[in-house]
Amino acid sequence: MTPVIRLVDACRTFPGPPPVQALHPVNLTVEPGTYLTVVGPSGSGKSTLLNILGLLDRPSAGVYEFEGADVSELNDRSRTAIRAHQVGFVFQSFHLMPLRTATENVALAQLYAGAGRRQRMLDAGIALERVGLGHRRSSLSNTMSGGERQRVAIARAIVHRPSLLLCDEPTGNLDTATADGVLDLLDELHRDGMTLVVITHASEVAARGQRTVTIRDGRLS
Amino acid sequence: MTLRSRISWRDLGAEALAGLLQRPGRSALTALGTVLGVSAFVAVLGITGTAGNQIDERFTALAATQVVVEDVGPPDMPASEGSFGPDSSARVQALNGVVHAGVWWPVPAKKPSISAAYGVVTGTEDLRFLAVEDGALSATHPKLQQGRLYDRFHSERGERVAVLGAVAASRLGVTRLDGQPAVFVDERPYTVIGIVSEVDRLPEALFSVMIPLSTAESDYGMPEQAAAKMLIETRLGAATVVAEQVAVALRPEAPERFRVISPVSPRSLHDSVLGDVNLLFVLLATISLVIGAFGIANTTLVGILERTSEIGLRRSLGARRWHIGAQFIMESTILGLLGGLVGTSLGVITVVIVSLAQQWTAVIAPWIIFPAPLVGAAAGLVAGIYPAWRAAATEPVEALRRLG
């Protein structure tokens, strides 16, 4: 089976002065249906890795194959298209649009994928059901609790059935009980066959993964 | 892989509108600049247009209904013979569109000494002594202070009657007519039958002692060479046509003996008045519009810095740079359009209020009203270019880093 992610000696250097080697050459393969957690303290290069995996950034050297295709040399436009169709992002601070309903926030994910408005709203409703928020469809996002907001954000990340779900500290802004709920949801998604990469600094979150890698000073181990 | 990220114009517009409505207060304040600019634009053009048309109307009312015919005669014309025949006014009256017509001339008295009492002449040297046909008198729109005008009866019988202008009457000390006062010109008495206080045409009538034509002819003879003139009042809009025909009607065999003075074309007058006034004010309105555009540009730029995280999110969801830029351009264009619409309405209201206060008829050309909101939209569009470019250039990684 084609791996979702295959990094071969991928590294990232930020041009100086002085140049910073944020990510030392990395080799990483993630098979479909894998639940991978990346754990490391802040400033360890987690975000750099996530940006590369999410096609928001390009490796300075090395190869990144996404779904079997080399994407390290793709232009901005093509990488953007892959993000629109095949990658879902979950952020620490949710990043929902205030003054929009849960459904509208979720529907935003397919806005740039070329789906019609009716289809977007329909899919958004299904995704909200999936994350257990079917009853909150028309609630404004700024009237929701933190846990509910993160569930809406997860619904937004999965509504277009991406090949890869990237989560950046998904529980960082949540209390323990709520965080458990969100992590249970991620487990469920994994059981349904979703490929997950979760980045965290908390070892108890990392322990939920099928496989855990540690990153420290830009080196993966 | 043939994946594409795309968005329909409708969805893009909806996103732009939602972005504006999310901060209604700020959007309203931002649009204020365009509102002021466009309303100034419409108001200035509307008011000058309205005023221009009022000036027009005033000229139309008097000058546009007036034709003056001067006797320029052949050079060898005998002194006693004028170009106007005895039936001149009847000939001209027959023309379609003529309301009143009549000949008048300064009476060629030997030494015109005018007085209210026989033999006493003081302070009346600058008064004039005119022979005025009753039709010409009517054409001046005289307002009678007392008494009446002379008519065809007096003219046909050569009655020695006179109508005084108000200034002449007060110089002569004639204040009441019930004692049938007389004025003496070269020691001939003329009974005063009326005093005229105002005229719309022939202003010298107010300084004059006016007598019927036939009276003047029998007492003093024909007018001096080329001294006679004809005053014609026409119906509105008929002056040009009457002016073309009158010389031939008067003397079919020698129309060149008359010079016809017709009113200025109302159109050319209108245009010149409007042209002068407008340029300056249009310049001012344009300046306020430019300031409005800068207002939009500035606020949009600040808004973009504030919405960096939104830009990052949209980019992570697959929005291309172009999509981001287009959304922000659209936002500022919609803002400009809304400002333009409100500004146009305010401008029209201003014109109406000013017109009401001045008792004018508000006149606004459609070519001012309909493009005005588009001018606002264009200002918004131009104002949005730089901020939109900045937004599009935002690196998603940078933007997401700020997400926290």
Residue A69: CB atoms within 10 A of its CB come to 12
Q: Are B315 and A82 inside 8 Å of each other by CB?
A: no
pLDDT at A35 over 60: yes
Last residue of a domain, one of B220, B253, B286: B253
Say if residue B82 is in the same domain as residue B182.
yes
Which helix or strand (DSSP H or E) is residue B72 part of?
A: none
Residue B24: CB atoms within 10 A of its CB come to 9
Q: Is B402 helix (H, G, I), strand (E, B) or coil?
A: helix
Give yes or no for a contact between A98 and B22, defined as CB atoms under 8 angstroms apart: yes
Q: Is residue B65 part of a domain?
A: no
Q: Are A111 and B6 inside 8 Å of each other by CB?
A: no
For position B264, what pLDDT does the model report? 64
| Minimum mean pLDDT range among A31-35, B58-62, B332-336 | B58-62
Across the range B232-255, mean pLDDT stands at 86
Eight-state DSSP code of residue B362: P
Across the range A45-53, mean pLDDT stands at 89
For A48, phi then psi, to 5°, come to -60, -45
A95, A112, A156 ranked by CB distance to B319: nearest: A112
Say if residue B233 is in the same domain as residue B274.
no
For position B239, what pLDDT does the model report? 83
For position B266, what pLDDT does the model report? 55
For position B27, what pLDDT does the model report? 87
DSSP letters for A79-131: HHHHHHHHEEEE-TT--PPTTSBHHHHHHGGGTTBT--HHHHHHHHHHHHHHT
A86, A93, A109 ranked by CB distance to B317: nearest: A109
Say if residue B54 is in the same domain as residue B105.
no
Eight-state DSSP code of residue B303: H
Say if residue B249 is in the same domain as residue B184.
yes
For position B112, what pLDDT does the model report? 67
What percentage of chain B exceeds 90 in pLDDT?
21
Q: B45 CB contacts (<8 Å, ≥6 apart)?
A: B278, B281, B282, B285, B364, B365, B368
Give yes or no for a contact between B88 and B249, defined as CB atoms under 8 angstroms apart: no
Q: Is residue B189 part of a domain?
A: yes
How far, CA to CA in Å, does A16 sit from each of A21, A52, B396? 10, 19, 20
Q: Show residues of chain A in contact with B310, CB under 8 Å.
A: 97
Last residue of a domain, one of B198, B231, B253: B253
Q: Is residue B258 part of a domain?
A: no
Q: B159 CB contacts (<8 Å, ≥6 apart)?
A: B150, B153, B191, B212, B215
Residue A82: CB atoms within 10 A of its CB come to 23
Q: A30 to chain B nearest CA, in Å? A: 20
Across the range A134-162, mean pLDDT stands at 92
Interface test with B, best of A99, A111, A159 (most B CBs within 10 A): A111
A99 close contact with B: CB closer than 8 A: yes
Tens of pLDDT, residues A58-102: 999 999 999 988 998 888 899 999 999 999 999 988 889 888 999
Q: How far apart are CA B5 and CA A83, in angstroms?
A: 9
For position B274, what pLDDT does the model report? 57
DSSP letters for B180-248: --EEEETTEEEEEEEEEEE-SS-GGGGGEEEE-HHHHHHHH-SPPTT--EEEEEE-TT-HHHHHHHHHH
Say if residue B363 is in the same domain as residue B390.
yes
Handedness of CA A25, A27, A33, A36 (dihedral sign): negative
Say if residue B138 is in the same domain as residue B173.
yes
For position B66, what pLDDT does the model report? 86
Q: Is B272 helix (H, G, I), strand (E, B) or coil?
A: helix
Q: Show residues of chain B in contact with A140, CB under 8 Å.
A: none
Q: Taking the CA atoms of chain A, what radius of gyration do you get in angstroms?
A: 17
Tens of pLDDT, residues B126-174: 788 899 998 898 998 899 988 898 988 888 888 899 999 998 888 888 8
Q: Is residue B220 part of a domain?
A: yes
Which helix or strand (DSSP H or E) is residue B379 part of?
A: helix B372-393
Say if residue B386 is in the same domain as residue B284.
yes
Tens of pLDDT, residues B280-328: 777 887 888 888 888 888 888 888 888 888 999 999 999 999 999 999 9
Say if residue B340 is in the same domain as residue B216.
no
If you measure CA to CA, which chain B residue comes closest to A113? B5
A89 close contact with B: CB closer than 8 A: yes
Say if residue B133 is in the same domain as residue B228.
yes
Across the range B221-248, mean pLDDT stands at 84
Q: Show residues of chain A in contact with B10, CB under 8 Å.
A: 117
Q: Is the ipTM of this complex over 0.90?
A: yes
Q: Is residue B30 part of a domain?
A: yes
Say if residue B106 is in the same domain as residue B22.
no
Q: Is residue B118 part of a domain?
A: yes
pLDDT at B340 over 50: yes
CB pairs under 8 A between A and B: 88
Give the type of residue at A8.
Answer: V
Q: Is residue B144 part of a domain?
A: yes
Q: Is residue B70 part of a domain?
A: no
Strand intervals (E) in B30-110: 66-71, 98-106
Last residue of a domain, one of B253, B287, B310: B253
What is the domain range of residue B352?
11-59+267-403
Say if residue B284 is in the same domain as residue B398.
yes
pLDDT at B272 over 60: no
What percentage of chain B exceeds 70 in pLDDT?
88
For position B2, what pLDDT does the model report? 67
If you measure CA to CA, which chain A residue comes closest to B324? A112
pLDDT at A114 over 60: yes
Q: Show residues of chain A in contact with B5, CB under 8 Å.
A: 77, 80-81, 83-85, 112-114
Q: Taking the CA atoms of chain B, what radius of gyration do you get in angstroms?
A: 36
- Laid out side by side, the sheet with A5-14 consists of A20-30, A5-14, A61-66, A69-70
Say if residue B245 is in the same domain as residue B345.
no
Closest CA to B383 of B338, B333, B324, B340: B333
Q: How many domains does chain B have?
A: 2
Interface test with B, best of A46, A47, A56 (most B CBs within 10 A): A56
pLDDT at B404 over 50: no
Across the range A128-157, mean pLDDT stands at 92
If you measure CA to CA, which chain B residue comes closest to A170? B404
